[in-house]
Structure 1
């Protein structure tokens, strides 16, 4: 069901002129959806930050109390033009996020509205720079991580799924997608049993996970190695964050073209939609609140890891 919309979105974004306006135009006809974009310039160009809100039947926007979920599509850019022609592997996060929004918008129109509001954010840049990284080149970005968090992470999000292509490493050797443990307020917590269960249900396979290190949950720009930007939304929020990594068995550069797989993206989309359904109904938890409180009682706050440190 999600594959049709995935292919439609990739076809739209695989364009040297791709823009936030093109994405927003997808949602103009849906009565329960608000979509907007803003162009932001950085040192290496500009990008269009997109924000799509699919309103719930009992969401906070309408005065209700149902929890809201954020779906963040993380990437450097959709393309590395003029050096590379076409849609790059790094663009999968944006494609997945926009597809989630498009599928939920169609569901709402057909009467299947979620209880809570869903916030989908990402950015659209068809000509992002690249930068050196081992074992393969990373996609760069026209703007820094602070700008991304400012435009993609909002206080209204009670929990966040961060989708990012995570193929440029030797840590994950699986084609499809994998999820991270929950990260909250500087703590790497245990994997959510609910999120593992939903992964089993949507894939029909045993769940696939990947590890995070303390380095990964610190902010970019501190001259410390990071797997990639998948968990960087946690720097800007105290809401629980889980990474949804679109993965490969081999090491694939983010700037590689012809390396996106529609079925893998659609699989991640389906997973995020099912998590959104359950979370906004109060049926799924990202972390155990009592255990988190016990950790802080015993060992104190870890929020200093959300900052740039002593420097």
Structure 2
């Protein structure tokens, strides 16, 4: 049951040695790597399903904790959801359920972060250069990236469950496929909640324009489509506060990631490729291509 896995992940991340506890849960069938860059620790797990497609579940965050606080911070959601998906894959493997698709799961489980200026609350980002962080986070072999990020410090996306973005591809925002919307509706039991993106959200964080979060920043480092999975809240919540984990939302988001794996394995599409072709034929390549970092 994915809820039990989620609670196990939260318990693991709240321990004084999350890396050691996580490593014990990873079987030899899954390639597992820990990479430390300065004070930032990335974990990378690769499930080799032998499929022609590869999906990345990316947990984006500054850190799971902040030194001046005790416990998991709001910003930890990306790590919680991505690692829940990872350990649920392990559970399914142990039950003899395997996938004919390659899956990479990457996240940061550092214990401290830095804050950068943003309104209404400062962003938490890793204690390394932001571009270096994204280079580590984005799997260059992934055909689709699900980017999970806590997006609670804003005044425009105030929901009581997780929200999605439309698809970001080559500088265009493309409508999310109806089948993906149906997966969302089925899991949550309610209408889809979307994150309202602006052009500024697709620019690098060093552009002096409004960014709702760094949720879709991975598109700058890949040619593959990116879907943002945002954990949100009715209240405006800074990423560095504790005591605000929404278990129901985190369970829904984790289950969505697993269902997307099944959907892509069956050949499901996340956007209409003909629409992108039409836009590029009529309008040309997006000017946002100029700011890509690949």
| TM-score class normalised by the smaller sequence | over 0.9
In structure 2, relative to structure 1, the CA distance for the partners of 1:80 and 1:112 (3 Å cut) is: same
State the match for 1:50 in structure 2.
Answer: 43
Q: Choose which of 252, 255, 272 in structure 2 pairs with 1:288.
A: 272
**Does structure 1 residue 88 correspond to structure 2 residue 73?**
yes
The number of aligned residues is: 293
Deviations 1:227-256 (A, max 9, x none): 111101101001000101111111111111
Query: Partner residue of 2:106?
Result: 121
Q: Which residue of 1 aligns with 2:8?
A: 8
Kindly indicate whether the alpha-carbon contact (under 8 Å) linking 1:68 and 1:280 is maintained by their aligned counterparts in 2.
Answer: no
Contact 1:54/1:105, CA 8 A, preserved across alignment? no
1:293 positional shift: 1.1
Question: 2: distance between equivalents of 1:104 and 1:230?
Answer: 24
Q: Using the TM superposition, give the Cα deviation of residue 151 of structure 1 relative to its aligned residue in structure 2, in angstroms.
A: 1.3
Distance across 2 between alignment mates of 1:240 and 1:192:
12
Aligned to 1:33: 30
- 2:166 maps to 181
**Inter-CA distance 15–130: structure 2 relative to 1 (3 Å threshold):** farther
Report what 1:152 is aligned to: 137
Tell me if the contact between 1:40 and 1:48 (Cα under 8 Å) persists in the aligned partners: yes
Q: Distance in 2 between matches of 1:107 and 1:17?
A: 25
- Tell me the secondary structure at the aligned position of residue 180 of structure 1: strand
Structure 1 unpaired stretches of 5+ = 60-64
2:118 corresponding residue in structure 1: 133
Deviation at 1:176, TM superposition (A): 1.6
Task: State yes or no: 1:75 paired with 2:65.
Answer: no
Which whole-Å CA distance do the structure 2 matches of 1:278 and 1:304 have between them? 29
Contact 1:178 1:208 in 2 (8 A): yes
Name which of 62, 86, 101 aligns with 2:86. 101
Deviation at 1:22, TM superposition (A): 4.2
TM-score (norm 2): 0.94
- Is the contact made by 1:18 and 1:126 (CA closer than 8 Å) also made in structure 2? no
* Cα distance in 2, alignment partners of residues 143 and 16 from structure 1: 22
TM-score by length of 1: 0.89
The one of 215, 221, 235 equivalent to 1:230 is 215
SS of the equivalent of 2:166 reads coil
Q: Secondary structure at the match of 1:181?
A: strand
- The equivalences for 1:160-175 within 5 A come to 160-175=145-160
Structure 2, gaps ≥5 residues long: none
Does the CA-based 8 Å contact 2:221-2:292 persist in structure 1? Answer: no
Contact 1:24-1:37 at 8 Å conserved across structures: no
Closer, same or farther in 2 for the Cα pair 1:174/1:235, shift >3 Å? same
CA offset at residue 130 of structure 1? Answer: 2.8
Query: Residues of 1 paired with 2:270 and 2:290: CA distance?
Result: 19
SS of the equivalent of 2:193 reads: coil
**Offset of residue 33 of structure 1:** 1.2
CA apart distance, 1:305: 4.1
Counterpart for residue 299 of structure 1: 283
Cα distance between partner residues in 2 of 1:97 and 1:301: 32
Cα distance in 2, alignment partners of residues 136 and 175 from structure 1: 19
